[in-house]
Amino acid sequence: MPVKGGTRYSSDMTLQETVALASLMTFKLTVGDIPFGGAKGGIRFDPSKYSQAEVERITRKYTMELAKKGFIGPQCDVLGPDMGTNEQIMTWIKDTYQYLYGEDDINADGCATGKLLSQGGIAGRTESTGLGVYFVLKQLMENTDFTKKAKLSKGIAGKKIIIQGFGNVGYHFARSVHKAGGIITGIIEHDASIYSENGFHPDDVKMYMNSQGSCKSYPYADEVNTLDPTQLLEHECDILAPCAVDGAINMNNAPNIKAKVVIEGANGPTTFGGDEIMYDNGVMVVPDMLANVGGVTVSYFEWLKNLDHVSPGRMTKKF
């Protein structure tokens, strides 16, 4: 079986971090019982500072260099989306690989997952990671032993929730917990955090961010912090969901975490030292290798779809 890993575009990437994320991916795939090995890769740059045409050229060059060395392919290393990448970028990767090897490899579409639906993608991949985080939380919040240790009542309804990161993972997680009755009291982004005791409607915040490019001027927030948005991680809440960068909770801020449950939507958002501190303080931490396995699970089904060359359900569909 091939290996499976996310493709990350970030100006903060390091080789050491990439190796660590590849290891985490290996463990995550094992927990999810998915027959892939773990991998991770990417480019050290900030895509937000480049035009779409420039990002496309960078992506295609990156793919060509990997492909020439035999590092990617449907039976070798299947790339997937991660921080800084999206459906369009994964489609460019597939398109470039297909241009190079499509005549000889009938399964070329399977070299990458998370693609546009019209280009071999699969329905539900965009929201799968955040939705998976929600389902894991839902199951745990119905477990008597878990809620007793967390000192919370059963169920998501009425729980105050703070989310770090409002991209695909954080936003779709927020939508699901909001529908279940959870109260989204805080949202943390890279340039600002917003807080409201009465909670936010995730769709309204997302629409505002899409139109304005940031949440720092969101009119319905009781508090806005643009100096150090990560301070909101230490605010009182029932559930804290770090869905952005790795190392967000560490030895510096872990002693001040007041959440009763931390569910890891990002890859490696808690350092080893931070995890030990929260364990000693009685904070229930749901690790990323369980909580965010939903994304790679759907990627696996997209890969199978590409190898089968038949859309799921087509053989049994009645016309």
Cα within 13 Å of Cα(4), Cβ side: 28
Cα within 13 Å of Cα(175), Cβ side: 16
Q: Which residues pair with 147 in a beta bridge?
A: none
The closest of 93, 67, 83, 76 to 37, measured between CA atoms, is 76
The closest of 142, 136, 210, 215 to 176, measured between CA atoms, is 136
* Inter-residue contact 214 to 192 (CB < 8 Å): yes
* Inter-residue contact 38 to 52 (CB < 8 Å): no
- The neighbour count for residue 126, using CB atoms within 10 Å, is 20
DSSP 114: S
Copy the structure tokens of residue 220: 């319905």
- Amino acid 56 reads E
Cα 233 to chain centroid distance, Å, stands at 18
Does 258 qualify as catalytic in the annotation?
Answer: no
* Inter-residue contact 117 to 94 (CB < 8 Å): no
Catalytic: which of 4, 28, 40, 260? Answer: 40
Residues involved in catalysis = 40
